[in-house]
Amino acid sequence: MVRNMEAANNSFSDNDLDDKSREWLINEVKKLRTGIREHRDYSGHELCWHHPKLWDLLPEKTLPDVAVPPWPQFMRGCVKYRESLEKELPNAHIEHREAE
């Protein structure tokens, strides 16, 4: 669920890119790819955490309006997420490390 109404309405504009140089744009794409790869490569317990560093790659700086469900619903969501990983990545390495 999107809680930031600007994001929900897609009112953020990328017009700031129109006047950027080719070199600047290439560097920006590399920075974004690095951030996406870092997020993609999370494993184990890191998959479950809040990721403001990824959001900071966007030019608009907003405070995320995060809604946190009550514990029972939150834990059911965690179980569903883990079950989806079991289906989508049945041969994934099992990590036995406890969350810190």
pLDDT digits (tens, 9 = 90+) for 31-63: 999 999 999 898 887 877 788 888 899 988 887
The model's pTM is 0.68
Report yes or no on 88 lying in a domain: no
Host domain of residue 54: 5-66
Q: Domain count of the chain?
A: 1
Report yes or no on 45 lying in a domain: yes
Contact in structure between 47 and 28 (CB atoms under 8 Å): no
Name the one residue in this structure whose structure tokens are 């700086």: 61
Report yes or no on 59 lying in a domain: yes
| Identity of the amino acid at 20 | K
As given in the structure block, the two tokens for residue 83 are 């079950």
User: What string of DSSP letters covers 41-89?
Assistant: T--GGGGGS--HHHHTTSSS----------HHHHHHHHHHHHHHHHHH-
pLDDT surpassing 90 at residue 91: yes
Give the pLDDT of residue 87: 96
